[in-house]
Amino acid sequence: MCGRYASSRRAEDLVEEFDVDALRIAAELEPDYNVAPTKDVYAVVERPPSGEQVAERAGRAERQLRVARWGLVPSWAKDISIGNRMINARMETVAEKPAYKRAFAKRRCLLPADGYFEWYPTQQTTKAGKPLKQPFFIRPRNGGTLAMAGLYEIWRDPARPEDDPDRFVWSCTVITTDAEDELGHIHDRMPLMVEPDRWADWLDPTAAQDSLLDLLVPAAPGALEAYPVSREVSNVRNNGAHLIDPLPLEEVVE
């Protein structure tokens, strides 16, 4: 699974990197080195033109940078809390599961990340007798941005009045797959990546559904590096760039 990640890029940098047409955010997010479920994150989406845009854009979708809540809330959900357990969607079932299939068909996104965290169970145990886990940070070896494959939804809060601008909640999930061999010893799942030459096809809301899964690939062997980091990241209250610094060997739990 992918349960934590780091996202420190500025909005203006993501606009340039992802060739975004419009910045649709109320306020820029602060760099976050411990992104956890229910937090707000950046999402790159493409939205069909509406109203006057139809003629202006000649039918072309607009690529937008949005802010979304991590944890997908389906449009039919009665309560936003359902998103707390829907942070990941498995590639193997994403096109069929009721919670994801509508979003997979029309509302796909890219979730930019510096890298993500996974926890490896060590031979040491806690006082409760459970394996002590060592966190690892997994990132592109070249220092670039991970474009994680995701889905998004727009949920209407029935408790808010019609004229409340916050009645619509944007939310998202990360699509995962089996981890490639080099990373599989840390965790058996990993986020799916979308290569730059496939961004347009993945984001296209009119794309044929039967071709979508072919656009998703695990990172090429050797493209990612993993190294141990401080166990401070295990507490969601901790944040800061030091959380992704390599841990000195003498401090690594084995």
**Residue 182 pLDDT more than 70?**
no
What pLDDT is recorded for position 55?
A: 46
Angle at 39 between CA 128 and CA 234, to 5 degrees: 25
Distance CA 112, CA 14 (A): 8
Mean pLDDT, range 231-240, rounded to an integer: 96
Mean pLDDT, range 227-250, rounded to an integer: 93
- The set of residues, in sequence order, having a beta carbon less than 8 Å from that of 37 and lying 6+ positions away, is 3, 70, 71, 83, 84, 87
| Residue 104 or residue 55, greater confidence | 104
Instruction: Please write the tens of the pLDDT for every residue from 128-177.
Output: 888 888 999 999 999 999 999 999 999 998 888 888 878 899 999 999 98
**Residue 56 pLDDT more than 60?**
no
User: What is the homologous superfamily of the domain 5-114+145-218 according to CATH?
Assistant: SOS response associated peptidase-like (3.90.1680.10)
| Structure-token pair, residue 19 | 């060739």
Instruction: Please write the tens of the pLDDT for every residue from 190-218.
Output: 899 999 999 999 999 998 888 898 888 77
Q: Which residues are catalytic?
A: 2, 118
Instruction: Please write the tens of the pLDDT for every residue from 128-140.
Output: 888 888 999 999 9
**Residue 47 pLDDT more than 70?**
yes
